[in-house]
Structure 1
Amino acid sequence: MDNWTPFPWTVNPRFDGAHLQQQWDRLHTGDAEPWPERADVLEAWVLFHNGEFQRAAHAGLALGDVGMNVANKATCIYANYLEPREHARQQLLLEAAARAEALQKREPNNAGAWYWQAYAMARYSQCISVAKALTQGLGVKIRQALETTIALAPRHADAHLALAGYHAEVIDKVGALVGGMTHGASKDVGLALYQKALALNPDSAVTLSEYANGLIMLGGHKRMDEARHLQDRAAAVQPLDAMEQLYVASVRLVLEG
């Protein structure tokens, strides 16, 4: 594995196990990841929240199945926000998706295994173009994985958000008629899922910004003011950990552009 691009900022205060326990519910409302009972798994999560993504991924992989969710999350977040090389980004996402899919077979009730497969494939689809991904059948896999995630973890806010994004992106790329008939996409279902995600995790920069993007894709100029309000709220969030810092920085960059 090549050396990954370092996280460009410092998380302050840095996390240790005790500090992470205090903030766990706030940081993991989105992915519904349960508190790790094992010290070695906890240490991998500490690395992740401090922005040491490569070390977190290595640590998680070394632990086997019990560390797979943290390894895949570290890989996906790094690939999406920090990896500058397109081929390497795609490869990392495909590797995470494959690991998650393999974990599903061993632990079919592990919501994270389904979610991180869907997340990795969705980001990979954006790399190669959503339209191309749909022709390869990736859309069906993403939708089914997210639906399974929600069935296993009904309060998984990020799964609701990602499934809403599926409906929005399909309609945005191929239209409501083809999207509905061929890919099961629905504007009303997408909007309802965004609203559910917001209800589950209302103060998350991820939720606010992704909901804003979805409103633009599904509602166009009619929802632009509402979308901008959500983006402004996302940009005003004070990030707690490395992932939130990356996300808030990306939102602020969009608003400045």
Structure 2
Amino acid sequence: MAKWTPFPHAGQFRLDAAQLKKQWARLHTGDVEPLPKDPQVLQAWVHFHNGEFQEASQIGLAAGGAGITAANKATSIYANYLEKKEKTRLELFTQVAEQAQQQAQADPKNANAWYWHAYALGRYSQGISVAKALAQGLGSKIRESLEKAIALAPAHADAHIALGAFHAEVIDKVGALIGGMTYGAKKDKGLKLFQEALRLNPDSAIAMIEYANALVMLEGERKMGEATALYEKAAACKPQDAMEQLDVDLAQAELEE
């Protein structure tokens, strides 16, 4: 396996297993992943929260079971934020989608198996172009997996964000009429999903960022002020782990442009 690009703030987060257990509820407000019983899986999560994404992925896959979720999250966050080569990014998202699909088949009540299946397909779709992905039938797969995740875990804020983004992206690319008739995408539904995500996880920088993007996609220039305010709020968040730091970095970079 090629060496992954390192987390740019190496050493900023130094959680150990005991500290992670204490902070688990806060760090997993977004994905409501249960605290693992297997110490190897917990160790995979320690690496994830400290920004050691490749180690998290390797240990999670080796552990199997709940470790697959840690591996899928580590691989997805790494691919989304740190992988430089587009071909490799798409390969990583394909890998996660396949792993999550197998996990969902083996454990159909695992909300995060469905969530990471949808997340990986969604990011893959953005990479190849949303219009092309919709033509390949990926839209319905993404929506169905996210709806399953929310049905299994109604407090899953991250699934609400992703489903809100799905509604916004589809309407942005194919218009409200075709988006609604063909893919079930609705503007009001999309915006409500973001509002619910922020109710469930008010400190989520990524919820603020994705909501801001959706407002501009769905409402245009007239929502630019509100979108900028959301970006500013996201940029001011105090990250508690490596993933949250990458979200804040993204908001800050967008504001600087």
TM bracket, shorter-chain basis: over 0.9
User: In the TM superposition, what are the counterparts of 1:225-236 in structure 2 within 5 Å?
Assistant: 225-236=225-236
Measure the CA separation in 2 of the matches of 1:7 and 1:105: 32
AA matched with 1:173: K
User: In the TM superposition, what are the counterparts of 1:45-194 in structure 2 within 5 Å?
Assistant: 45-194=45-194
Measure the CA separation in 1 of the matches of 2:200 and 2:41: 26
AA matched with 1:126: Q
Shift of 1:57: 0.3
Q: Percent identity?
A: 60
8 Å contact kept, 1:11–1:242: no
Normalising to structure 2: TM-score of the pair? 0.98
Q: What secondary structure is seen at the aligned counterpart in 2 of 1:2?
A: coil
Superimposed CA distance per residue, residues 214-238 of structure 1 (whole angstroms, 9 cap, x where no aligned partner): 1111111121111111111000001
Measure the CA separation in 2 of the matches of 1:38 and 1:65: 9
The more displaced of 19-28 and 44-53 is: 19-28
Normalising to structure 1: TM-score of the pair? 0.98
Superimposed CA distance per residue, residues 109-138 of structure 1 (whole angstroms, 9 cap, x where no aligned partner): 001100000000000000000010000000
Superimposed CA distance per residue, residues 36-56 of structure 1 (whole angstroms, 9 cap, x where no aligned partner): 122111111000001110000
Superimposed CA distance per residue, residues 174-217 of structure 1 (whole angstroms, 9 cap, x where no aligned partner): 11011111111000110111111111011111111111111111
Measure the CA separation in 2 of the matches of 1:41 and 1:163: 28
Shift of 1:13: 4.4
8 Å contact kept, 2:157–2:200: yes
Measure the CA separation in 2 of the matches of 1:117 and 1:107: 13
Superimposed CA distance per residue, residues 81-110 of structure 1 (whole angstroms, 9 cap, x where no aligned partner): 111011110000000000000111110000
AA matched with 2:101: E
8 Å contact kept, 2:13–2:50: no
Shift of 1:66: 2.4
8 Å contact kept, 2:13–2:242: no
Measure the CA separation in 1 of the matches of 2:227 and 2:174: 22
The corresponding residue for 1:216 is 216
AA matched with 1:220: G
The more displaced of 30-39 and 162-171 is: 30-39
- Following TM superposition, the consecutive aligned residue runs of length 4 or more in structure 1 with deviations greater than 6 angstroms are none
AA matched with 1:42: L
Superimposed CA distance per residue, residues 128-169 of structure 1 (whole angstroms, 9 cap, x where no aligned partner): 000100000000000000000000000000001100000000
Measure the CA separation in 2 of the matches of 1:48 and 1:11: 13
For structure 1, list consecutive stretches of 5 or more residues without a partner in the other structure: none
The corresponding residue for 2:251 is 251
8 Å contact kept, 2:172–2:217: yes
Q: What secondary structure is seen at the aligned counterpart in 2 of 1:209?
A: helix
Shift of 1:8: 1.3
The corresponding residue for 2:14 is 14
8 Å contact kept, 2:96–2:117: yes
The more displaced of 89-98 and 20-29 is: 20-29
For structure 2, list consecutive stretches of 5 or more residues without a partner in the other structure: none
The more displaced of 203-212 and 53-62 is: 203-212
Shift of 1:31: 0.8
How many residue pairs get aligned? The number is 257
